[in-house]
Chain A
Amino acid sequence: MDPSELGPIPPDQMKATRTPGYWRLVGGRILADRVTLVCLALLALIVASAVFADLLAPLDPLKTSMVKRLKPIGTPGFLLGTDELGRDILSRLLFGGRMSLLMGIWPVANALVVGGLLGIVAGFFGGRVNMLIMRTVDVFYAFPSVLLAVAISGALGSGMKNAIVALTIVFVPPLVRIAETVTTQVRSLDFVEAARASGAGSPTIIRVHLLPNVMGPILVYASGLISVSIILASGLSFLGLGVEPPQAEWGLMLNTLRQAIYVQPWVAVLPGLMIFVTSICCNLASDGLRNAMEIKQ
């Protein structure tokens, strides 16, 4: 039947169908949350400064100078001083952000795909598949995260690629767990049953009915892991297991500047401060996102 045959829709009914969408609601809540806004703005600034490091950095981050070693903060030409090889700290912090952010986000993104998929499969199919996946995950939970990251990248050897592999393995188990929990909840809802009754196969149900409903909580959880990942990734580089010299990365900079704490303590502190600020902003932004996405009854 053509809907127009029913005549014009009364205005009050039209109003009722025009409730703001979920995502507009979430957006509105974020805009009203000052802490989250400030954190998002700071994060945008940090990301932009890393992306445009080429344009912003006053000097070559790799250029060493034996005569200009360990200059204090505020030295003309070296706004934030120089490191133990005479390289400009400001330039290295800008370029270092690239590596640190990349190593913070990449493993979480990898784990989101792998862990999310495994968790959805475990939650959706249940039974033996669930057993197999979840018991394997339990084994990984027997390792404190720092230990697991160090163990894997230690066995594989240093280097950025190995560190990313190690961190991915660290973040897969928690993502499997959250994805499994959420999927198990959604799977038992009526609309999934209805889809199955109407003849939809498992792949269709997962793609059309499950994914849109489970992605939110999984993404929020993953966003909370980014700060952990940045701290852990820089920690690996700090130990000499991640990014290799002479590349600039915040954790690695901390490592090499450690010998300089008796000469220029406040210069040596700067890379860690960057990690700290980035990590706090990620945590607060993730909290804000979770609050904004919460479905209040």
Chain B
Amino acid sequence: MLTYLIRRVLYAVPIALGVTLLVFTLLHLAPGDPVNAVAGPDAPAEVVEQLRRAYGFDRPLPMQYLLFLWRILGGDLGVSVATGRPVAGELAQAFSNTLVLALGAALVGFVAGVALGGVAGRHKGTAIDHLATVVSLIGVSVPHYWLGMVMVIVLAVEANLLPAMGMGSGGLELLRHAVLPVLTMAVIPTGIVARSVRAAVGETLEREFVQALRAKGLGRGAVLRHVVRNVSPTIVAVLGLQLGYLLGGSILIETVFSWPGTGFLLNEAIFKRDLPVLQGIILMLALFFVLLNLLVDVAQAALDPRMRRA
């Protein structure tokens, strides 16, 4: 297990470096001089010149990249053009807001998906099985930003049950505000978890060891425990990836519901051409995704010794 852990961490290092290189390139993909993007359109010439030196834009690109890397390691993501505040601080607040949505949606998706997929895999061909298939299809086919609008129309505008946008001010209000975006976001993981669990449970039940367990007279509960143990690495992997997608893909839902998270901040940054913020958000979300993948692989290996050899 330890050797696996070391190998897996070592594998993540070049990926993380690649991510920083890609994000660094993003800034240079943007049309125009990157200094103007950092300084803003109305900055006087001497400020631009000062910033050029401060950011190291006057140096060759490889040097600039190393500088960028060095600053990231120190937790310095630059300063927002729009607000003048450090990007890292703005990000922390937004990230915790997005985490509320993503964790909520992952939880709903996990419970609903495992329940639906588990029953469907156990009873193939029944009504529940067909329901699971339909839910999975909707999960992968629905434009969730549109689903969010439909939710708002039905539950906020027509029925007037829940608030349509914003985050409320803590406690019960926060919960009420979170219901619609969380449910909307949960549709995708519910569908995908249900499909994977259905397939995994169905496959496991057909394996010989299950027959052997039944033949030796184990009760339903005991057989189920063995099945769960075998299916759990799959569920962990799917759920981990989905949590990453929820965190990284929250921009559309946060725009629909005006939820002040990373996606909302990203949307603002794009239209204000606030490139340091844009860069910071993408870097943080991607690095978090790398970390999440690492954790998923380690958890899988912990659950299933066979994975450690891969």
Contacts and interface: CB of A to CB of B under 8 A. Distances in A.
Contacts, number: 136
Contacts of A138: 15, 18
Contacts of A150: 251, 266, 270
Interface residues on B, range: 35 or more
Nearest to B262: A147
Interface in A147-175: 147, 150-152, 154-157
B26 A155 contact: yes
27 contacts: A138-B18, A139-B18, A142-B15, A142-B289, A143-B289, A144-B248, A146-B249, A152-B26, A154-B269, A154-B270, A154-B278, A155-B26, A155-B29, A227-B140, A231-B141, A239-B251, A239-B255, A239-B270, A254-B146, A261-B152, A262-B157, A266-B153, A268-B153, A271-B146, A276-B142, A280-B137, A284-B137
Given A143-B248, A146-B252, A265-B157, A136 B149 contact: no
A268 B149 contact: yes
Interface residues of A, number: 46
Contacts of B15: 138-139, 142
Interface of A: 135-136, 138-140, 142-147, 150-152, 154-157, 227-228, 231, 234-235, 238-241, 251, 254, 258, 261-262, 265-266, 268-269, 271-273, 275-276, 279-280, 282-284
Nearest to A227: B141
B112 to A, nearest CB: 20
A100 to B, nearest CB: 10
A156 B21 CA distance: 17
Contacts of B255: 238-239
B270 A241 contact: yes
A41 B114 CA distance: 34
Contacts of B137: 280, 283-284
B143 A275 contact: yes
B145 A235 contact: yes
A209 B242 CA distance: 38
Contacts of A282: 141
B217 interface: no
A272 B149 CA distance: 9
Contacts of B149: 254, 258, 261, 268-269, 272
